[in-house]
Amino acid sequence: MPQGSIVKALSGYYYVLPEGAPLEEGNTVTCRGRGVFKNKKITPLVGDRVMYEETENGEGTVTEILPRTSELIRPPIANVNIVVLVFSVTEPVLNLQLLDKFLVHIEHTGIDVVLCFTKSDLLLEGSGDALPKEMTMSELDRITALYEAIGYPVVRTSSRRGVGVEAILHHLEGTISVFAGQSGVGKSSLLNKMIAGIDLETNEISQRLGRGKHTTRHVELLPLEGGGLVADTPGFSQLDFMEVEADGLGACFREFAAVAEGCRFRGCLHLHEPDCKVRIAAADGTIAASRYEHYLLFLAEIKDRKRRY
């Protein structure tokens, strides 16, 4: 029975690329999933390595999903090596709370992360009253230094000027990667610069709502010239913590790990416990105030979810 990988999922169909075939137009087999998947509440995902059988009409049926090395629920994709978190520095303004929430979800999966800050040219062009009041270049420098110190690679890009495109491609070479982030931050515009010959739909930011329109409506893997595959995904502005428990939240903040080893109590939630080294580090500035504040907000959200369910 042939093997392949799902490179696109749309309207109940799975587009399977046969093993060893280049990702080119006409090379995929259009498949349905076996009925048993629905009965067992199993959903094939883009990125899944699968077994399939061809049918008489030239299409096929996915018969088995091979073991996954990783899985993301939102965006729904499997076997990813790197997540590129794409956030604009303005229009919409960089939301650090949402950025940290994305990082928690990805750290929980163990997948590597690259941070991409788009639309950097808009800060350089602003002057006087035209400068976006929500963000300045010095503030962006501070934020960049903060996340690099934690251990996250940070790339600033401008799709309009072609800045940072090669740096992103270097990080993704030979990997299966996914772009994720809010709507309207420039994911599709950046991919259009990265991949010759594609023309993903883009939309301007809504000035009234302060966020973008959804231009990508499904998950699809696209080939990179240097080798590897990248997925564009629908943008979104909210996440919940259905998969993260309170006692595991601290482990999703990289800079907490070494400090937390000194806490008096095993399983310390870094909330009110005596001799909590994380709280001490947050108080003296070793851990950034914004990161600890977001940790507390997320912890409260998780506890509230537990009470409601």
pLDDT confidence of residue 72: 84
Q: Can you state the angle between helices 96-109 and 289-308, rounded to 10 degrees? A: 70
| Averaged pLDDT for residues 56-71 | 92
Q: Tell me: do 17 and 118 sit in the same domain.
A: no
Structure-derived torsion over alpha carbons of residues 256, 257, 262, 268, reported in degrees to the nearest 10: 70
Nearest CA to 4 out of 15, 19, 14 is that of 19
Last residue of a domain, one of 173, 207, 232: 232
| The two three-digit tokens of residue 246, written as one number | 């309170």
pLDDT confidence of residue 209: 34
pLDDT confidence of residue 162: 81
Q: Parallel, antiparallel, or unpaired for β 13-18 and 60-65? A: unpaired
Q: Tell me: do 40 and 182 sit in the same domain.
A: no
Annotation: binding site for GTP: 118-121, 181-189
The beta strand positions in the chain, using DSSP E, are 3-10, 13-18, 29-33, 49-54, 60-65, 71-72, 77-78, 82-88, 112-118, 154-156, 176-180, 220-223, 229-232
Q: Tell me: do 116 and 181 sit in the same domain.
A: yes
Q: Tell me: do 251 and 220 sit in the same domain.
A: no
Annotation: binding site: 118-121, 181-189, 263, 268, 270, 276
Separation between Cα atoms, residue 250 and residue 108, nearest integer Å: 10
Q: Tell me: do 104 and 213 sit in the same domain.
A: yes
pTM metric for this prediction: 0.84
Instruction: Give 100-157 pLDDT, tens digit per residue.
Output: 999 999 999 999 999 999 988 887 654 444 444 568 888 999 999 999 999 999 999 9
Instruction: Give 289-299 pLDDT, tens digit per residue.
Output: 999 999 999 99
Annotation: binding site for Zn(2+): 263, 268, 270, 276
Q: Tell me: do 79 and 206 sit in the same domain.
A: yes
pLDDT at 99 over 90: yes
Q: Tell me: do 298 and 173 sit in the same domain.
A: no
Residues forming a β-bridge with 10: 13
The domain of 298 spans 246-308
Q: Tell me: do 44 and 97 sit in the same domain.
A: no
Q: Tell me: do 45 and 150 sit in the same domain.
A: no
Separation between Cα atoms, residue 106 and residue 36, nearest integer Å: 30
